[in-house]
């Protein structure tokens, strides 16, 4: 009996582990990735001709990122890896793909979609102006293109990614002008109880904020966006 044709869409952490599990079961999956290199958004790799240490790229997740990249390299002889390939539609039991302007329909018996993280944007006045980026876009520029979105960016939004990206820019030698958190300090204090089972995550957040403060980066809470004037502003 022929082995099933399994396609894994995405080569981030979930896609890599799915491909690893299939390979261990004796199945050679087709792994499609829109990016040039495996890693996904959170563990996105830097260009081949750059060699920034993992600790600066991924912070506290450096060990996990390195382990994932190493595991994928070991998988290559056991999978059909197709980078720079966009999965854009499904017709019956065929996946429609595009690679370097070449369209192909891939038949499959099963498919695992591990599309990964994406920015959720709340439109507001000025959000399409030049110089306004999402946090994910700012992070992609830093990791995958080894460049920054400005010499003194302002980061605005809420959640852990806000402080992580600001910290990553600081570690890359770009001091943010400010970090504007739209949530209030009181609201964040209420959420501390939910982190009692994840002390490591809490410790990481405190470390990022402390490093930013030590570097002289202003951290503001309960911020409101009224309009855009700067060309070096990042938001989520």
**Domain positions in the chain:** 6-113, 132-235
Residues 198-227, mean pLDDT to the nearest whole number: 86
Dump pLDDT digits (tens) for 156-188: 888 888 999 999 899 889 999 999 998 888 888
What is the fold, at CATH topology level, of the domain defined by 6-113? FAD/NAD(P)-binding domain (3.50.50)
Closest CA to 176 of 165, 160, 184, 185: 165
Residue 227 confidence (pLDDT): 54
Residues 215-223, mean pLDDT to the nearest whole number: 92
CA–CA dist 28, 38 (Å, integer) = 17
Question: 52 or 112, which is more confident?
Answer: 112
Dump pLDDT digits (tens) for 64-97: 999 999 999 999 999 999 999 999 999 888 999 9
pLDDT of 153 higher than 90:
yes
Q: Under 8 Å CB-to-CB from 135, ≥6 apart: which residues?
A: 119, 155, 157, 161, 162, 165, 234, 235, 236
Residues 14-35, mean pLDDT to the nearest whole number: 95
Which percentage of the chain shows pLDDT scores above 90? 47
Tell me whether domains 6-113 and 132-235 share a fold: yes
Q: How much is the mean pLDDT over the chain?
A: 87
CA–CA dist 235, 213 (Å, integer) = 20
- Please report which confidence band the pLDDT of residue 10 belongs to, taking 50, 70 and 90 as the band edges: very high
CATH code for the structural domain at 132-235: 3.50.50
pLDDT of 234 higher than 50:
no
Tokens for 148, please give them.
């920054």
Residue 225 confidence (pLDDT): 63
Q: What is the pTM of this model?
A: 0.76
């Amino acid at each position: 009996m022929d082995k099933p044709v399994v396609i894994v869409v995405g080569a981030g952490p979930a896609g890599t582990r799915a491909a690893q599990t299939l390979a261990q079961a004796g199945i050679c999956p087709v792994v499609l990735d829109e990016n040039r290199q495996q890693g996904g958004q959170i563990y996105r790799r830097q260009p081949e001709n750059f060699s920034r240490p993992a600790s600066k790229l991924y912070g506290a997740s450096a060990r996990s990122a390195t382990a994932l990249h190493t595991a994928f390299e070991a998988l290559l002889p056991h999978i059909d890896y197709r980078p720079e390939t966009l999965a854009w539609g499904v017709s019956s039991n065929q996946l429609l793909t595009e690679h370097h302007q070449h369209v192909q329909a891939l038949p499959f018996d099963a498919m695992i979609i591990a599309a990964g993280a994406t920015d959720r944007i709340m439109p507001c006045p000025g959000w399409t102006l030049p110089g306004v980026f999402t946090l994910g876009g700012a992070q992609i520029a830093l990791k995958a293109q080894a460049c920054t979105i400005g010499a003194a960016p302002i980061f605005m939004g809420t959640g852990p990614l806000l402080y992580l990206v600001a910290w990553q820019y600081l570690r890359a030698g770009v001091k943010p002008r400010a970090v504007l958190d739209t949530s209030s300090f009181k609201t964040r204090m209420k959420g501390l109880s939910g982190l009692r089972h994840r002390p490591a995550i809490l410790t990481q957040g405190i470390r990022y904020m402390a490093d930013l403060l030590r570097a002289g980066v202003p951290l503001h809470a309960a911020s409101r966006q009224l309009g855009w004037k700067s060309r070096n502003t990042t938001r989520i």
